[in-house]
């Protein structure tokens, strides 16, 4: 009975991790997947252990946490050498995807072809589909478009008998990308719009962002900058730069081609609409429900270099008349909290400075206020 309770609890941990992963909160998902990983290793349940490793490797690739991928690869190697564990096709697939994220297409193809061979030997049709989809991605990167399309068409046969909705949708998006690369923009957009109708049922944020990006670059390359800008901005506003570092870089690169501002050029980005703060070194800063701190930072970023007196800050932020006995300590504590939130080095602040009778934002800080 105890074992059943442990397994039920572990299943719940994994499900929570999956929910976070589906909404692209990879840092939160990592916590739950790591917990499951440790438990499976303790129980020597290597099959489920590798399943969690696969999930972690793919989110680490998107977060560009390549050192963590290397750490997991070393653990896989230890299992192979010490425990004589056979690597399953899904693990080879994940290793291939991770290599492709780094532009290592030859290595990626080797992993994916190994995934295909192991899946065929085991008659694992689901793993076979994943391997084929990965090979199609690499063929596209290598500009082997006809070969890539053949792999996509092979997948359609399997999807008639296998319920793999997420993979089927991502392969359709890949099909559109291949057609786009071939200059067949109308056909690509037709596929993307069909995907757009289907994606509402799956409610997977990552796939939705990928689709918006696909539509944006297709409109860009087909000569429609206005629609390109619209969909790329939608993709960017939906993507958290800390969790989706790889995708955000791709989107920003395309927006730069349209003359849009590249947020990496700024030290501090204040997204007023989504109430998000991005600090160049710290990444996304989670203010949760600390509205006073948000309002205070908004006040400063509107006019960098302008000194706000204590009286002005109290009036604008707390809507009160300044009383030294009440507000001096309150203001000091609030500024201290704000510094801890946004300063990369609290002991050496680079943003919020104190003047003779007030505070101001460093006028040399590169700040972007997105409205």
C-alpha–C-alpha distance, residues 59 and 205, integer Å: 13
CA-to-CA separations, 143 to 108, 174, 287, in angstroms, rounded: 15, 13, 44
Structure tokens, 108: 């990626």
Strand order in the sheet with 308-309: 308-309, 358-361, 352-355
285 pLDDT band, cuts 50/70/90, is: confident
Q: Are 199 and 169 in contact (CB under 8 A)?
A: yes
The percentage of residues in the chain with a pLDDT greater than 90, rounded to a whole number, is 71
Is the CATH code 1.10.10.10 the one for domain 291-370? yes
Q: What is the pTM of this model?
A: 0.70
Does residue 364 register a pLDDT over 80? yes
As a whole number of angstroms, the longest Cα–Cα distance in the chain is 78
Residue 277 backbone phi and psi in degrees, to 5: -120, 130
5 pLDDT band, cuts 50/70/90, is: very low
1 pLDDT band, cuts 50/70/90, is: very low
Structure tokens, 56: 């972690």
Q: Are 78 and 44 in contact (CB under 8 A)?
A: no
How many residues would you count in the chain? 371
336-347 per-position pLDDT tens digit: 999 999 998 888
C-alpha–C-alpha distance, residues 90 and 87, integer Å: 8
Partners of 369 in the beta sheet?
270
Structure tokens, 299: 């006040």
C-alpha–C-alpha distance, residues 51 and 244, integer Å: 21
Residue ranges covered by each domain of the chain = 164-265, 291-370
Q: Are 219 and 227 in contact (CB under 8 A)?
A: yes
The fold for domain 164-265 equals 1.25.40
Other Cβ atoms less than 10 A from the Cβ of 3: the count is 8
Same fold across 164-265 and 291-370: no
């Amino acid at each position: 009975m105890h074992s059943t309770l442990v397994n039920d609890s572990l299943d719940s941990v994994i499900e929570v991790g999956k929910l976070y992963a589906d909404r692209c909160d990879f840092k939160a998902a990592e916590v739950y997947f790591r917990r499951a990983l440790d438990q499976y290793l303790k129980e020597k349940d290597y099959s489920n252990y590798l399943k969690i490793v696969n999930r972690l490797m793919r989110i680490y690739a998107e977060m560009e946490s390549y050192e963590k991928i290397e750490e997991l690869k070393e653990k896989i190697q230890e299992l192979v050498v010490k425990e004589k564990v056979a690597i399953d096709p899904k693990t080879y697939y994940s290793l291939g995807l991770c290599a492709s994220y780094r532009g290592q297409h030859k290595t990626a193809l080797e992993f994916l072809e190994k995934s295909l061979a192991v899946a065929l030997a085991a008659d694992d049709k689901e793993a076979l589909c994943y391997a084929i989809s990965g090979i199609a991605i690499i063929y596209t990167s290598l500009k082997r478009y006809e070969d890539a399309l053949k792999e996509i068409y092979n997948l359609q046969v399997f999807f008639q008998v296998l319920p793999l909705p997420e993979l089927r949708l991502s392969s359709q998006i890949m099909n559109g990308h291949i057609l786009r690369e071939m200059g067949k923009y109308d056909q690509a957009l037709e596929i993307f719009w069909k995907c757009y109708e289907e994606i509402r049922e799956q409610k997977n944020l990552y796939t939705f962002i990928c689709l918006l990006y696909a539509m944006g670059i297709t409109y860009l390359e087909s000569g429609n900058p206005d629609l390109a800008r619209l969909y790329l901005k939608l993709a960017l506003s939906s993507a958290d730069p800390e969790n989706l570092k790889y995708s955000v870089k791709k989107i920003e690169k395309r927006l730069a081609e349209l003359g849009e501002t590249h947020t990496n050029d700024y030290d501090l980005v204040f997204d007023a609409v989504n109430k998000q703060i991005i600090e160049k070194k710290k990444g996304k800063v989670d203010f949760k429900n600390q509205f006073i701190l948000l309002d205070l930072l908004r006040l400063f970023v509107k006019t960098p270099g302008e000194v706000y007196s204590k009286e002005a800050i109290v009036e604008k932020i707390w809507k009160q008349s300044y009383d030294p006995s009440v507000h001096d300590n309150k203001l000091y504590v609030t500024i201290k909290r704000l510094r801890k939130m946004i300063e990369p080095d609290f002991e050496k602040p680079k943003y919020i400075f104190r003047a003779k009778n007030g505070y101001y934002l460093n006028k040399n800080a590169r700040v972007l206020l997105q409205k």
